[in-house]
A and B are shown apart, each in its own frame.
Chain A
Amino acid sequence: MSEKIISVKNLGFGFGKRQILKNVTFDITEGDILAIIGPNGAGKTMLVRSILGLNDNYTGDIVWHKKPETGYVPQKISFEKGFPLTVKEFFLFETGSNLNFWWPNKKKEEEIKQRLDDVKIGHLINERLGDLSQGEMQRMLIARSLLENPKLIFFDEPAAGIDISTEETVYNLLYDLYKKLNLTMVMVSHELSVVYRFATKVICLNKDLVCQGTPQEVLTPEALQEVFGHHASVYKHAHNLEHDHSS
């Protein structure tokens, strides 16, 4: 039986007088690929940020039963494009010591190269962050999150803004890593097809917790309508995939 890592109980938060989310209760268990879905502004990112301790402004409880090494892939990082900082330097922020930053040893450099190779951007190690494309940036952030061999990773829209073909490979990549490294993953996504294919557990948010369970149980037309409103195409899309899935 897998162990619980995190329990979220009756979580709620809002901006000013506007309540965004209330009564959200769920567990994150070892080996999960937990997908958090919901319309824009449903508070998916805030939920992840709250669990990670990046937002203290919530009601309810978030309990970490254990503290595994944790990785985080944010939607984006904001910085000045012209700033002189290379991918290697950015990775050295995370790994090694302060001294290593001035004099990186060969072993550290090889580790970094290996992680970048894992996501197929090893050739970008000496590029400036500002010169990466959006897709390369996303891969770079994924590689970075894996540097310290985490057991638990949070992905906030891992494929936001990436064109469809790249997106496919980003999710395939994540799934490969999941299997290879025995990870537990939490991902924010609005790609229902992806959720269908990869997630072991889904929670749907729209003001409160609308549904939770396996994708096959949860992503019913009724539930989807409650989450996203009238959106036949979404349903159809998911339905088609269900077909693919079972065949």
Chain B
Amino acid sequence: MDWLEILNNIYPILISLSLGLSLPLIGVFVILRREALLPDAISHIILLGIALSITFKINPLVGILAFAVLAGLAISLLKNKANLALDAIVGVFFTTSLALGSLLIPSEELLETFLGNIEKLTRGDVLLSTVLALIIIISLLVKFRDFAFVSFAPDLAKVDKINVKKYEIFFVLLLSLGVAIGIKLMGTLLVSALIIVPAATAKIFSFQIRPMTGWSMIFGLLSVLVGLGTTTTLNSPPGPTIILISASIFFLTFVMHSIFRKRN
């Protein structure tokens, strides 16, 4: 086995680990904050970034990251301003970007932008995803308590002299980066599902937030690993495959939990 082959084998594992663990971890907080629409909004703003990269012929990664940061900052700023409810902001951003993005992206590339394409992942993408995923995972796990407190009861956190605004902005940026690293593989329409579904699955049976976090990450990793395997075998688009597996775990868990609970 030569080096190239080893590397080629490592990349899918790296991408599975980085996406499968970081996105579902973010999802625990997204659910805690009751902001399940937010990842979708960010992914659709990033779609506009992809569209502009294609139009101006620059590396899409630049457009993705630039628009992810932009989306994060814009949402954090607008959220605390004016009389705008988050869901209204999200609704406006979301649809405008989707409309513009779909007009600008050539139709032959539109489907893979929506549903993801594993072949478009370059080595640079994988390495950058791994680094960003590590940043997300380490930040959220090391400061888990503070992020959770700020998400759950911001007023009480503020009285305890925690800089709530700083954590809020930091979290939305981490969420945006998470969406950014997932978007090429999962596609703009489905990336948010990898954030939400594993966390929602873990929530079904968890009694405490700590095990919920662990299980969310396990379900996420499992979905991506099995999903990528299936994608390679069946030659199906990765986004829908991974999400279908993730959703199957959700329904299975739901049914098992209902049966188990009735027996007790």
Residues of B contacting A49 in the complex (Cβ-Cβ under 8 angstroms): 155
Please give the distance in Å from B214's CB to the nearest CB on chain A.
Answer: 10
- Contact between B155 and A54 (Cβ–Cβ < 8 Å)? yes
Partner of A101, one of B34, B144, B212: B144
Partner of A52, one of B146, B148, B159: B159
- Contact between A102 and B155 (Cβ–Cβ < 8 Å)? no
Interface segment, one of A74-82, A159-167, A185-193, A211-219? A74-82
The size bracket of the interface on A is 20 to 34
Partner of B143, one of A70, A79, A98: A98
Judge whether A72 is part of the interface by a CB distance below 8 angstroms: yes
- Contact between A94 and B149 (Cβ–Cβ < 8 Å)? yes
The size bracket of the interface on B is 20 to 34
Judge whether B158 is part of the interface by a CB distance below 8 angstroms: yes
Using CB atoms, name the residue of chain A closest to B141.
Answer: A102
Within A35-83, the residues touching B (CB, 8 Å) are: 49, 52-54, 70-72, 74, 77, 79-80, 82-83
Using CB atoms, name the residue of chain A closest to B32.
Answer: A83
Residues of B contacting A71 in the complex (Cβ-Cβ under 8 angstroms): 159
Judge whether B145 is part of the interface by a CB distance below 8 angstroms: yes
Interface of A is mostly: mixed
Partner of A102, one of B144, B149, B207, B212: B144
Residues of B contacting A98 in the complex (Cβ-Cβ under 8 angstroms): 142-146
- Contact between B155 and A93 (Cβ–Cβ < 8 Å)? no
Judge whether B251 is part of the interface by a CB distance below 8 angstroms: no
- Contact between A83 and B144 (Cβ–Cβ < 8 Å)? no
Docked complex Cα distance between A85 and B207 (Å): 7
Within A135-188, the residues touching B (CB, 8 Å) are: 144, 148
Using CB atoms, name the residue of chain B closest to A128.
Answer: B207
Using CB atoms, name the residue of chain B closest to A94.
Answer: B160
User: How many residue pairs bridge A and B at CB < 8 Å?
Assistant: 70
Within B1-44, the residues touching A (CB, 8 Å) are: 31-32, 34
- Contact between B206 and A84 (Cβ–Cβ < 8 Å)? yes
Within B191-240, the residues touching A (CB, 8 Å) are: 203, 206-212
Docked complex Cα distance between A97 and B251 (Å): 37
Docked complex Cα distance between A13 and B150 (Å): 26
Interface-centre pick from B144, B145, B157, B206 (highest chain A CB count, 10 A): B145
- Contact between A84 and B207 (Cβ–Cβ < 8 Å)? yes
Using CB atoms, name the residue of chain B closest to A16.
Answer: B83
Using CB atoms, name the residue of chain B closest to A79.
Answer: B152
- Contact between A89 and B32 (Cβ–Cβ < 8 Å)? no
Docked complex Cα distance between A54 and B212 (Å): 31
- Contact between A84 and B212 (Cβ–Cβ < 8 Å)? yes
Docked complex Cα distance between A98 and B149 (Å): 11
Using CB atoms, name the residue of chain B closest to A97.
Answer: B145
Residues of B contacting A77 in the complex (Cβ-Cβ under 8 angstroms): 152-153, 155-156
Q: Contact string, B153-188, partner A, CB cutoff 8 A, digits 1/0? A: 101111110000000000000000000000000000
Judge whether A92 is part of the interface by a CB distance below 8 angstroms: yes
Q: Contact string, A96-118, partner B, CB cutoff 8 A, digits 1/0? A: 01101110000000000000000
9 contacts between A and B (CB under 8 A): A54-B158, A72-B155, A79-B152, A79-B153, A86-B208, A92-B145, A93-B145, A97-B145, A101-B145
List residues of B whose CB falls within 8 A of some A CB: 31-32, 34, 142-146, 148-149, 152-153, 155-160, 203, 206-212
